A and B are shown apart, each in its own frame.
Chain A
């Protein structure tokens, strides 16, 4: 468990700094495009691709870090209205399915990333694996964050962390 927590701390740092980096790229490129058009009377062919691919990365990394920080929303009204034993069983199903979903999306995201290694973007001729890699990366982080939460739920975390 301790190894997993340490690993997740690293993922958290990588995810956070990645989010900051790609948000900064978006925040610079879009105004640059407008200024370039009106001030320098020049349009760049790369800005659209750089900003949209950065958006994919920022969203997946931001979404992953947000999962750990409680930004992701879920509907708890049903779980809160049933007896505790049933609620625990329902939560168990939710955790197991979430882990299966993130795991499957990581696997198929990897498949798609490798598949796109020979595809190039129209403007920059960037290997399409680069933007597609945002998906498996994000789902990989989400899987391990959920796994830690699941182990805590099962009572395998530090004392007092379990449900």
Chain B
């Protein structure tokens, strides 16, 4: 175990790619330990790649990219703005709503930040919002991407911990709504304090027309969750149907998606998902050695000397994950901690779906914590502002998210109610 963990930490510290650190420590362990042939390592990696439920990852990424390329996003943003723009801080509220709706189609935070931020950040700046407030709000609202279903982190957690992906998708709905509500409330008070302007009241007819135009995008979440819950298709098949739907709408309804642009969209999705898939594949031997060396059991034994309260354990898990999320991105952190934390949850009687939501929400917030935050970097580039400026501006909405994390952690009902109601889990 010392060789295994030592090699992993050394490889991380020397800045080897995390995929190499994950696979490399397993290889070093196999070479020095001599108990496991390296060919087993190759077989395990292949097994990690050729897994049917994981097909949902490239497919949901492709659906998000097709939707962007197909021109569905501008109508969505316009609808959100007309609906909420007349309230104080309405542009900010519309940003959160647009992110929440986009999140119900795409499963990734960066995609959500880019798709919505590119329109909303300049609009907020133009209306007199502080640049930092606008960018930081977009960053935090983009975290809804992986919490409101579908969600790439939920798929990774579900497959790694053998927990129902459909259950996790449902479990994410209420925490996502709570996070969206909390961010809207925060924005409302900031707007009141700074006297941010509001849009003129829009006639109901115009809102209805905007809703009609945005209907193809608004229907997507219904298609995904409706299909899964009715038992018509699995989450993987839902992802496939979403791809088909986004392609057909982009090509024949919005007339923006062309045959010529398809290779670019397919390649971008392939590269994004390739990175995540390699991490998952390399984490397979890592998870295997973690299980063989009974690392979760050792941690449970150690924790049981300190506390046996699930609430205290969840508190410790949160502190650990917040710290881990600072230097690490969601996907690598998730593939490292899931094999360790999921068995601990089962051992101490925490609902695996609840644990999954807490872990994912925690690590998703890592995307907006400096110095390493993919969403932070994406929004910096888009808003043309320095990382230092955004790093300072991010703290208020980040703290709001931490409060939401605490609520989700200590009210398990939020995560377990819908899966129990609709799936009987």
Contacts and interface: CB of A to CB of B under 8 A. Distances in A.
Interface of A: 16, 19-20, 22-24, 26-27, 29-31, 33-34, 38, 48, 51-53, 55-56, 58-67, 69, 71-79, 90-91, 93-94, 97-98, 101-102, 104-105, 108-109, 111-112, 115, 131-132, 134-135
B27 interface: yes
A59 B24 contact: no
Contacts of A97: 11, 14, 16, 20, 24
Nearest to A78: B13
Contacts of B278: 59-60, 63, 66, 72
Contacts of B239: 30
B184 to A, nearest CB: 31
B338 interface: no
Interface string B240-256: 11011001000000000
Interface in B1-48: 11-21, 23-24, 27, 38-39, 41-43, 45-46
B51 interface: yes
- The DSSP consensus for interface residues of chain A is helix
A27 B243 contact: yes
Contacts, number: 197
Contact of B15 (A26, A66, A69, A94): A94
A64 B232 CA distance: 35
B62 interface: yes
Contacts of A135: 42, 45-46
- The DSSP consensus for interface residues of chain B is helix
B263 A20 contact: yes
Contact of B371 (A16, A64, A77, A78): A77
B49 A31 contact: no
A20 B11 contact: no
Given A30-B59, A101-B23, 19 more contacts: A20-B266, A24-B262, A27-B243, A34-B240, A51-B52, A56-B49, A59-B273, A63-B19, A64-B274, A72-B17, A72-B19, A73-B329, A75-B372, A90-B13, A93-B14, A97-B14, A104-B38, A105-B27, A112-B43
